[in-house]
Amino acid sequence: MTLIIRAAEAGDAEAFARARRAVLPFILVTAEQLAFDWAHTHPDGHYRPLIAVTEDGTVAGTAQVGIAHDATEPGVGFVNVYVDPARRGLGAGAALLGAAEEHLASHGAHTLFSWVLDEPSNRSWAERRGYAPSRSAYYLRLDLAGADLPPLGVLPDGVELRTGEDFAADPRPLFELDALTTADEPGDLSFDLDDFDHWRATTWDHPFHDPSLTTVALVDGVPAAFTAAQSDRLGRYRTGMTGTAPAFRGRGLAKLVKTASLHRAREAGHTVAFTGNDADNGPMLAVNKWFGYEIAATEVRHVRTIG
């Protein structure tokens, strides 16, 4: 069967979302969100969403392709290829990967990272194409409707809880806290989160960002920990990022903000909660398991050097 590999356009967003949900049912993805993301990519990221289209117009697979422009190491690209399970065997994955690598090489990438679902066929497929496994991460799921959530309890002295709505007029304190906690997050790369305007446009104003469920812990008036909440307004909730400033770690603040956010999410009618967890981030994994999250799937980060 003939496949057409091309860049996705705004009119492809619904089909792109549907294909990704077929592979990753434990993420939040909608046509509105994709159209927003595509319209707000950073110019230095040279981002290109690719689709593999069959003769009858069906989107058989997708690829997220770009340059990690905010990484401290230059020349790093990423390509995440997902093929609809019902459309495997058509060569969509290989065709998407080839187009992606060509695009990234043309923009100076020499190191390529790719997330691959931890299934033997997927991993061998990636390794045959020169990608070596480097680290793992989990997709976690919680039955929020039936979960026995821990009570919030009495707040420690000096600790106050706020929501993202309290920072609507000026979210810069949350940007600074996000930047501080992202700096030492486990991973293959380190990132400099230093562009407030881009962060505000792509994170704070993102259609999935839910400021009413985003929760911040202040310690003596200082933002010390937060959990950034996302929702698709269809009953699905996701933790985007949870972090505690180094000076305030070891006080249980991550549990505190997540507890408050999960309770409000359930009160708002959300029935399922998702989050992601680096496999090497033992403390946060322990927190999520304490809430009752279970591993829904594992992805393995692969890396290849080109050029």
Per the DSSP assignment, residues forming a β-bridge with 304 are 112
Domain boundary (93, 109, 125) is at 109
Segment 36-58 shows an average pLDDT of 95
Residues 289 and 159 in one domain: yes
Residue 191's pLDDT band (boundaries 50, 70, 90)?
low
pLDDT in tens, 115-159: 999 999 999 999 999 999 999 999 999 999 999 999 998 999 999
Range of the domain at 240: 142-298
CATH number at residue 268: 3.40.630.30
Question: Quick check: 192 pLDDT over 80?
Answer: no
Q: Please check whether residue 173 lies inside any domain of the structure.
A: yes
pLDDT in tens, 240-266: 889 999 999 999 999 999 999 999 999
Q: Please check whether residue 124 lies inside any domain of the structure.
A: no
Let me know the angle formed at the C-alpha of 293 by 291 and 299, rounded to the nearest 5 degrees: 145
DSSP 71: B
pLDDT in tens, 259-288: 999 999 999 999 999 999 999 999 889 989
Residues 105 and 148 in one domain: no
Residues 74 and 149 in one domain: no
pLDDT recorded at residue 120: 94
* Structure tokens, 148: 């026995």
Residue 79's pLDDT band (boundaries 50, 70, 90)?
very high
| Residue 126 and residue 301 in contact, taking contact as beta carbons nearer than 8 Å | no
Residues 207 and 105 in one domain: no
| Region of residue 184 (phi > 0: left; psi between -120 and 50: alpha; otherwise: beta) | alpha
pLDDT recorded at residue 240: 87
